[in-house]
């Protein structure tokens, strides 16, 4: 799942760095993720994993790193 999330980050987050160089815990906002691109990333993650983030998960903490996204998706998949 981590590699799938990394690929989605690479395609949708419009970062200024190569997503393949990011550590799982790297701060995506420090790497250039904005509020707007987070929404685009959120939609891509939802489409890919067929999940929907509930309102209480629509915060920066959910998308601050590849690892955080993976954990959020796992929580939704296993809910």
Partner 1 sequence: MIRRRRGYLGGAFVVVHRPQGATRRAAVLLLPPLGYEDTSAYRPLRVLADALAERGHVVLRLDWPGLGDSPGCALDDDLHARRLDAARSARDALRAAGAHVIALGVRAGGLLALAAGGFDDLVLWGVPPSGKRYLREERAFHRLASKGFGDVEGEPLPEGAQEAGGFLHGPAVVTALEALIPGATAAGRALLIGRDDAAPEEALVAALDGAELTLEQGSGLGALLENAYHATLDAAVRDTVLAWMPTESGEVAELHLEAELVLDHARERPWELEVDGRMLSGVVCLPATPRSEQDWQVFFNAGGIRRSGPNRLWTRAARQLAGIGRASLRFDVHDVGDSDGTDQPWSDLEAMYAEASVADALAAVDWVIDQGAAAIDVAGLCSGAFLGAQVSARRTVRRAVLFNGLAFVWDDDARASSMTAHIRGSLLDGRRWRRLLTGKIDARALAGSIVRKGRLRAASLWASEGAPDPVDALLQEVMARGTDLRLVSSEGDPSIAYLDAHVPPDRRPPRTLLAGADHTIRPVQLHPRVVDFVLG
Residues that bind partner 1 (CB under 8 A): 11-12, 14-17, 29-40, 42-44, 47, 53, 55, 58-60, 63
Q: Smaller CB distance to partner 1: residue 49 or 63?
A: 63
Q: Smaller CB distance to partner 1: residue 6 or 40?
A: 40
Q: Which helix (H) or strand (E) holds 53?
A: none
Measure the CA–CA gap between 36 and 40, rounded to whole angstroms: 7
Kindly state the smallest distance separating residue 36's Cβ from partner 1, in Å.
6
Give the helix ranges, DSSP H, for the chain.
Answer: 2-12, 35-49, 60-63, 66-77
């Amino acid at each position: 799942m981590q590699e799938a999330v990394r690929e989605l980050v690479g395609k949708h987050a419009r970062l200024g760095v190569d997503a393949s160089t990011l550590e799982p815990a790297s701060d995506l906002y420090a790497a250039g993720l904005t509020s707007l691109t987070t929404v685009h990333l959120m939609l891509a993650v939802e489409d890919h994993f067929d999940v929907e983030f509930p309102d209480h998960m629509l915060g920066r903490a959910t998308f601050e790193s590849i690892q955080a996204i993976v954990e959020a998706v796992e929580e939704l998949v296993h809910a």
